[in-house]
Amino acid sequence: MAVIDFPNIRKSLMAYTRKNFSLLAVLVLLSTYFSLASPQFLTLSNILNTILQSSVMAIVAIGVTFIVIIGGIDLSPGAAVALVGVLSADMITQGMPVFVVMIMAVLIGGAIGFFNGVSIAKLGLSPFITTLAVMSMARGLAMAYTNGKTIYNLSDSFNVIGNGSVFGLPIPVILTGILFVIAHVILSRTVFGHQIYAIGGNREAAYLAGIDVRKIEIIVYSLAGCLYGVAAMILTGRLGVALPTVGNGLEMNALAAIVIGGASLYGGKGNMVGTIFGVIIIGVLNNGLNLLNVSPYWTLFIQGFVIFIALLIDVINKNKAK
């Protein structure tokens, strides 16, 4: 007969609350500083703009969170978003129905993720090197397909996914919220989610417990790729054009948000609530620096420094757990 370990459950809940409280404290401190430094920061229009601008990063981060928890890494999201964006835009300009194009965008993104997953799980290639190679290939394909040019004349019915709203709420924000809830339920309430944590915590033990590690790994990368496809449609719709150069640094911002949210790049640790907090923190930081007219070069440095600190904290926490 199973015995419920209430002390451990209470301890886990308290730790989860403390972690989210610390993220909230960081968010409040950043918001306080930027609101004092710029009177525009706390305006409703700027808050909505910050959330809207963070939606693409949030959707990518949701996908990468699955990968990080399973103990992998993906450096290809930015290039994947660019490739899916130009392919989707080209299909639209050729007169394909919007609904069909949206399905194709998700499938193309899923195919990129599937390629990553099979290469890593079946061929035994390094996740870092594999996704780095895929990043280069996807970016090169996007540039070659468009000859480095921008695709214009997208239909309004396609652009609505990035610029439209329902009852005053931007569609990208609504989609992000829906995907967050689904992903949170998958990770915290399903057998599949528990398998992801088990593989990330101890791959060998998960295999011995009967989990099909390779299959789960392929599914996780494919799922993340589908989310990259959704992010590509939103970004392309927001811009109203398709650029083969978009998405540079998107994967780094997503990884930073995930680690800030409490996930470990060593696998087995993380959750969607923390990821969303991390996304908001990165979004507020980027928006605040922009309002203060900080040079883009310094902004890039600060983003890199934040990632470095997040990784350092991750290593320290891992060493303490030993």
* Identity of residue 250: L
Query: Phi, psi at residue 71, to the nearest 5°?
Result: 95, 15
25: in domain: no
CA-based torsion, 118, 119, 125, 129: positive or negative: negative
C-beta separation of 55 from 71 below 8 A: no
203: in domain: yes
296: in domain: no
124: in domain: yes
Name the more confident of 44 and 18.
Answer: 44
pTM of structure: 0.90
Which residues are CB-contacts of 233 (< 8 A; sequence separation ≥ 6)?
Answer: 84, 85, 88, 102, 105, 158, 161, 162
Query: Among 258, 262, 255, which Cα is nearest to 317's?
Result: 262
231: in domain: yes
Alpha carbons 186 and 196: distance in angstroms, whole number: 10
Res 210: pLDDT: 94
Read off the pLDDT band of 15 (50, 70, 90): low
Structure tokens at 2: 């199973």
Res 93: pLDDT: 94
Alpha carbons 216 and 206: distance in angstroms, whole number: 11
Based on the structure, what is the number of domains in the chain?
1
Q: Which domain holds residue 46?
A: 42-247
Mean pLDDT (whole number) for 91-111: 96
Structure tokens at 113: 């993720």
Q: Is the pLDDT of residue 2 over 80?
A: no
Res 9: pLDDT: 43
Q: Is the pLDDT of residue 115 over 70?
A: yes
* Identity of residue 125: L
Reduce the secondary structure of the chain to three states and give it as a string.
CCCCCHHHHHHHHHHHHHHHHHHHHHHHHHHHHHHHHCCCCCCHHHHHHHHHHHHHHHHHHHHHHHHHHCCCCCCCHHHHHHHHHHHHHHHHHCCCCHHHHHHHHHHHHHHHHHHHHHHHHCCCCCHHHHHHHHHHHHHHHHHHHHCCCCECCCCHHHHHHHHCEECCEEHHHHHHHHHHHHHHHHHHHCHHHHHHHHHHHCHHHHHHCCCCHHHHHHHHHHHHHHHHHHHHHHHHHHHCCECCCCCCCHHHHHHHHHHHCCCCCCCCCCCHHHHHHHHHHHHHHHHHHHHCCCCHHHHHHHHHHHHHHHHHHHHHHHHHHC
* Identity of residue 32: T
214: in domain: yes
Q: Is the pLDDT of residue 48 over 90?
A: no
162: in domain: yes
Express as a percent the part of the chain with pLDDT over 90. 69
Query: Among 228, 245, 250, which Cα is nearest to 140's?
Result: 245
How confident is the model over 201-247, as pLDDT tens digits? 999 999 999 999 999 999 999 999 999 999 999 999 999 999 999 99
Read off the pLDDT band of 297 (50, 70, 90): confident
Q: Is the pLDDT of residue 3 over 70?
A: no
Q: Is the pLDDT of residue 44 over 90?
A: no
C-beta separation of 59 from 227 below 8 A: yes
31: in domain: no
Mean pLDDT (whole number) for 267-293: 92
Q: Is the pLDDT of residue 8 over 60?
A: no
Average pLDDT over all residues of the chain? 89
Alpha carbons 318 and 308: distance in angstroms, whole number: 15
Res 179: pLDDT: 96
Burial class (CB in 10 A: 0-12, 13-18, 19+), 127: buried
Res 6: pLDDT: 45
Cα angle vertex 245, ends 244, 247, to 5°?
110
Res 61: pLDDT: 97
Express as a percent the part of the chain with pLDDT over 70. 92
Mean pLDDT (whole number) for 117-130: 96
Query: Among 55, 116, 135, 109, which Cα is nearest to 226's?
Result: 109
Q: Is the pLDDT of residue 152 over 70?
A: yes
